[in-house]
Amino acid sequence: MKPGVRVCVPSAAVLDLFCRGCLSRSRSWPGRSFSSTSGQMSRWNSQDTSPPSPQENVRVLITGDANFHPSLTLNVIIFLLMSRKQYGRDNVILSDIKKPPPHVYANGPFVYADVLDYKHLRELIVNNRVTWLVHYSALLSAVGEANVALARKINITGLHNVLDLALENCLRLFVPSTIGAFGPSSPRDPAPDLCVQRPRTIYGVSKVHGELMGEYLHHKYGLDFRCLRYPGVISVNTPPGGGTTDYAVQIFHDALSTGHHECYLRPDTRLPMMHISDCHRATVEFMQAPECQLSLRTYNIAAMSFTPEEVAQEIRKHLPHLKVTYNPDTVRQTIADSWPVRFDDTNARRDWGWAPAFGLEELVSDMLRSIRDKRASQGLPVS
């Protein structure tokens, strides 16, 4: 075999071997005790059951938490719709602790689930034959700093419940990370996948904890843990929800409504950003990638990097009247100053073929067009 060449075993065989091995190793997992009844064990534990193809076997459970950060949950819904198109309406289940919009019920299964309720979450996974778990529940950066105790419960205790259940039931687990996982001592331009991480927010600390726990459980017990560090994510459907990068959403709405935006960051604050469609496409492609192609369990993904003044200048190409004033918020500016200004996503591009579709010019054009159409459909004035 030539050096540096990866050889993949056929996917069904990989899934079969991995799950049998995962279950045998998980019996020594020192966490919660597993049920001893055969009815509650994964069917991969049965020597009499031949595995279906991976496409037939994919059953996805997505955790969201609209009660704590509605912006992220709207992003979850977009990812949900993409996944249902790929794997079938009934094979992708959204969960939350709050009633979703009517169209979510109409488009496929929805269940109540609190990530802090281990027993109920376990029942959902077993009863719905879940194979992939996509865990989006978390408190964002600025909101987390305002309520550290709650952030610790949701971001860390909830994560541990999900890790235990993924290991017990041999699930492919995706947990998003963030630009906030880096700190002031991290390389900033660019930030590589592997470097010093000393974040100074509870959000960032919990994300580093999740990255390391997932990697540890992968190497020790065979958990198929996957994690992407998202930059700031920009979407027309996402109202600001307490994130440090949320100015890059609000500025588009302000440009088309009042023509004036007051920014809580300095005009030269450069941060990595990404269009929502690139974000969700990256997640789906990463989850589909054969495990043997992955050299890491946590990857940076990048698309563009800009400052408030740069995005304002691009918007003025379409709306010359836009006025931006700057009134830096101490908390958010301090957080932003501790984050990378660019991501190095070389490994994601090499290992599983990641490539963004949107740059700053494409992002601005799409956001303005989409918000203008949305406001017009709602009968709202457009500046």
Catalytic residue IDs: 203
- 354 near 285, Cβ under 8 Å? yes
* 239/253 Cα distance (integer angstroms): 9
The CA radius of gyration of the chain, in Å to the nearest whole number, is 21
State residue 314 phi and psi, 5-degree precision.
-70, -40
- β-partners of residue 60 are 92, 132
* 308/315 Cα distance (integer angstroms): 11
- Joined together, the tokens standing for residue 119 give 């027993």
State residue 261 phi and psi, 5-degree precision.
-130, 130
- Joined together, the tokens standing for residue 133 give 């778990």
* 139/65 Cα distance (integer angstroms): 9
State residue 218 phi and psi, 5-degree precision.
-65, -50
CA 6 from chain centre, in angstroms, equals 27
Amino acid letter for position 380: L
Q: What is the DSSP secondary-structure string of 233-289?
A: EE-TT----S-TTTHHHHHHHHHHHTSEEEESS-TT--EEEEEHHHHHHHHHHHHHS
